């Protein structure tokens, strides 16, 4: 996503900022020269980690702050969809792009906005039309920078403990990733 919609010299807004995926996006956006990274979080438990990583935190409940940030940013990477994506699109400035890469809310969003077209990104779509050598190159470059990334802690479960792993996964504001050992 960052290669297709570059962030060097740009202000970035991320949804689901407490998630591991958004955490990697934030780190790599800063590495690539983003001038500011805003992150919308749902659970206050994520606030300390966001602040420590230099992300400007915005509560998902603070619609006014989200609208204000949407007016200032150049890129929005949205994993949530629904009303949150619609809110951002309504306030997004005309030079910005909203890239939707998930619908964690389970709800579609209205693509309305001031001459803004939401972009859709899904890895399976990109892989379907990309030569094997090219996507292998993407993964090789990601694997090379992954060791420098801050990653959430993992809690390892045996296969027989899969219910416990799912329970952890469903915990709001969790700071750990469940990992099944097969």
pLDDT digits (tens, 9 = 90+) for 81-102: 999 999 999 999 888 999 999 8
44: how many CB neighbours lie within 10 A of its CB? 11
In the chain, DSSP finds a helix count (H) and a strand count (E) of 7, 8
d(Cα 170, Cα 117) in Å, to the nearest integer? Answer: 32
Say if 28 falls within a structural domain: yes
**Looking at residues 63-83, what average pLDDT do you find?**
96
Residues 84 and 28 in one domain: yes
pTM: 0.87
Say if 64 falls within a structural domain: yes
- Give the domain extent around 17: 11-125
Residues 95 and 26 in one domain: yes
**Proportion of the chain above pLDDT 90, given as a percent:** 67
Number of domains in the chain: 2
Residues 169 and 113 in one domain: no
d(Cα 47, Cα 36) in Å, to the nearest integer? Answer: 17
d(Cα 89, Cα 114) in Å, to the nearest integer? Answer: 8
d(Cα 169, Cα 70) in Å, to the nearest integer? Answer: 30
Residues 112 and 68 in one domain: yes
Residue with token string 């329970």: 167
């Amino acid at each position: 996503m960052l290669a297709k919609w570059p962030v060097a010299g740009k202000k970035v807004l991320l949804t689901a900022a407490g998630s591991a995926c958004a955490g990697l996006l934030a780190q790599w956006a800063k590495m690539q020269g983003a001038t500011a990274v805003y992150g919308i979080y749902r659970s206050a438990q994520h606030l300390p980690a966001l602040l420590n990583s230099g992300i400007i935190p915005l509560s998902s409940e603070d619609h006014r702050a989200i609208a204000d940030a949407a007016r200032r940013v150049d890129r929005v990477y949205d994993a949530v969809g629904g009303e949150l994506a619609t809110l951002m699109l309504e306030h997004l400035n005309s030079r910005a792009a909203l890239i939707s890469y998930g619908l964690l809310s389970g709800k579609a969003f209205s693509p309305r906005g001031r001459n803004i077209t939401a972009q859709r990104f899904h890895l399976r779509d990109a892989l379907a039309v990309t030569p094997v050598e090219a996507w292998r190159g993407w993964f090789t470059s990601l694997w090379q920078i992954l060791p420098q990334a801050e990653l959430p802690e993992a809690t390892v479960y045996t296969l027989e403990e899969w219910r416990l792993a799912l329970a952890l996964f469903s915990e709001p504001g969790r700071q750990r990733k469940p990992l099944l050992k097969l």
